[in-house]
Structures are given as structure tokens and as C-alpha cells.
Amino acid sequence: MNHIAKRAGASPATVLTWAGLLAVLAVLTGCTDSEPFISGKPGSSPYAIRITPQDGARDIRPDARVEVEVSDGRLEHVKVTQIEAAEQSANPDRNRDAGRREMRGLISQDGLSWTPRGASGRLSLAARYSVDVVALDGAGRRSARHSTFTTAVPQHRFTSRFEPDERSTVGTGMIVSFRFDRVIKNRAAVQRAIRITAEPAVEVVGHWFGGARLDFRPAAYWKPGTEVTVAVALHDVEGAPGVFGTQRKTVTFVVGRSQVSRVDVADHTMEVRRDGRLLSKVPITAGAPATSTYNGKMVVTEMQKVTRMDGRTVGFGGEYDIKDVPHAVRITDSGTFVHGNYWAGGGVFGSANVSHGCVGLQDVKGGGGNTPAGWFFDRTIVGDVVEVVNSEDKKVAPDNGLGGWNLNWIQWKAGSALH
């Protein structure tokens, strides 16, 4: 091997290119275990190259330690590469991020060990890795080692759905809400894998509602014009014992103008303010005494020009089933809407509360654009805020729709898994 190094014009201190590494590997592949430095078997020689996980290992966990060591001499090159995903051939759609990816790492100052750098050391599940090493022994002789290992194929996965959509424009009350399809036990690991940043910068904190929902918001409503980036790195994160995430994606949305509508149940009116300026004071009808409207801050999550409302779907009996409710703006998961109402007498708007908990605006059958309900619908976007005051009902629960603004900042931060 000294002869090979001299013919190449190299010295022990020479840094090989990766083309050179491949050449060294090719020459040394034919060597036998009679040369102990090349064998790499733990304990076979004080000059062995030791690779963890060992060559041919299977079902390695994603948090397993990856390390290369020599007990004498020094490491010259180490390259750890994800060369394929084991699941790719069986289900190509499941491994869109599969491919050759190099793991970054550092050789120690004494040259005796190599370890991954930071988060790059976490392995992908259902993947095959190669490890290529070139080292110098105490006499300055260059040797190489190649090994492979495969990581475990998970039996159970979890995923989530969240909004808003990519490049959407939302109101200043938007809360980014993740709903998971499995109960999350390792909440800190999952929350840490979701990063939400804003420009202009603002602190954004997550709050858990039970084990299957995680919401994010700043201390106060977003500033109009803010660009928010949601980076999801849940792929292979262990959300519960033996249950791993699937998602890796980035979504950016923009916060539009500020619109806050204040519903005064006692006064039977709704004031709509845009960037603090009063646009209109609209007459409304809210929930009747027996079916009153929630107090509190609620956020628009859905808008439909026409929808069906059946009381049996929200806990009532057969009191109503209206198949063509116009201009429906949802503000709670439990079924509270600001919507058009064509069936009540015109005299109730601005004077009486007769609904089953929704906020009703005067409208016509089919939904006319020239009505209070049509006017409000055309000026509303997802993420706008509707605040109800002076109702006889309780305050809306913070997990009913995007009701998290009803918690103060101290209460909100207390629900984070990252302290």
C-alpha cells in the first residue's frame, strides 16, 4: 500500500478527492482480513476501522448513533449517504423525498472519530445507507472500508391536516391549527418539528388541545402585510411509541387587511371595522334566550354561498332543516355561523333575537348581493375576526373553531410542550 501511495504522488497528509477515494476503495476491495487495519472487525486489531451501525445491520432506529472510529492513526475521509429508501419500489408516492442524501459530520481534532453534525444525524426510516471511510494507520498507510445498513420500516404512521393553503391571503386573526389522525404522546418532539416564522418577525407559540390538536399564534393579531412561513418536518418523527410522521412540506401565506366585526347581542347590531375604521353598522338577530349565541372572539374558518343547515347535526332535534341557507360564514366548529336569513320576518333584524345560536343578517332566498348578508359575505375572508359581546351565553371554548384568542398570552404559552 505504501507503493501505491508513492506511485500516485501522495503523502499521508494529502487530502483525497472523492474520485481518489473511489480509486482507493477499488484497489482495497480485494484485500483480505489478513491486513487487520482493513478488516474493521471490532477488537480484531488496535488499527481497526470501526463503523456503527455495523455492516449489514437491519431495522436500525432513526435516532440510532452513527459513528466511525479508529483506535490509532487518523481518519482522512468519511462519507455517510442515504442511497435509497426501502419503501420506494413498493410505494413510490410515499417517499417523494427519497434519493441520495449525504449526512454532514465532523472528524474530531485528534482524528480518531467521526460523528454527525446536529440534526443531520437523524436517520430516515425505511432507508438504506452506505458508509465509506479512508484512514491512515500509525505508519502512514492509507486504507479504506465500505459498509451498508438499513433502517426500520415503520408499521404505524401519523399525519395531520392544517390550514391555510399555500399562498393564500387570510385575515389578521388566523391561527395555524394542526389536527393529527393519531394521539400524540411525544408532544415536544412533534411541536419542535413544526417551525413557524413571520416577516416582520414576531414570536409564535404552539398550544396543545388534548393529544391530537396543536394550534399556533402570536401574542396579538397578526400585523397586516405579514408573510408567514409554516415549515413542517414531521417525516420520521416519533409522535408516539412506534408511530412515526409522514409529512415534510413548507407553506407560506400572507396576512391581509384587518377586519374585526363586533356583534352586540343586546343591541342587535354588528359593527364591521376595516383597519380600525367603521365600514358599517348592520342590524342582526342573534340566538334566542333558550339557544343563545356564544360570547367571545371567533375566527372565520369557512365560507359557503349556499349551504344546508340541519339542527340534528349540531345537537338539536328536528326544529329546523334549511337546505339553502345563503351567505354562510362559519366561526365555530360546533356550528355557529354568521349567515343570511330570508325566512324570518324583516322586523326581527335590529330588534329581536330569534336564532338557534347563529348571527343572522337579512337576506333573500338564493342569496342576493344587495342585502346586508351579501354585503358582509363579499367583504369577508378566512381569518377575519368576529367578536360577540353582551350575550347571556358563556364564552366560546378556545378549541371550538379557532377560539384561541380567548386565552391570554400567559395561558396560551402554558399549553406549549416546549418550555
Catalytic center residues:
339, 358
Report how far apart the first and last C-alpha atoms of the chain are (Å, whole number).
56
CA distance 408 to 414: 10
- Residue of 368, 371, 349, 302 lying closest to 330 (CA atoms): 302
CA distance 372 to 368: 9
Looking at the chain, how many residues does it have?
A: 419
Cell of 105: 459530520
Residues 170 and 255 sit within 8 Å (Cβ to Cβ): yes
Cell of 354: 330569534
DSSP for residue 373: H
Q: Is 95 helix (H, G, I), strand (E, B) or coil?
A: helix
- Residue 187, number of CB atoms within 10 A of its CB: 17
Q: Max alpha carbon distance in the chain (Å)?
A: 103
**Residue whose grid cell is 487530502:** 15
CA distance 328 to 345: 19
Give the C-alpha distances (Å, rounded to integers) separating 192 from 127, 197, 238, 361. Answer: 23, 13, 12, 43
Q: How many helices (H) and strands (E) does the chain have?
A: 6, 28
Residues 134 and 77 sit within 8 Å (Cβ to Cβ): yes
DSSP for residue 344: S
Residues 81 and 103 sit within 8 Å (Cβ to Cβ): yes
Collect all residues with Cβ–Cβ distance below 8 Å to 6 and sequence separation of at least 6.
Answer: none
Give the C-alpha distances (Å, rounded to integers) separating 245 from 146, 184, 191, 353. Answer: 31, 10, 12, 47
Cell of 209: 388541545
CA distance 318 to 416: 41
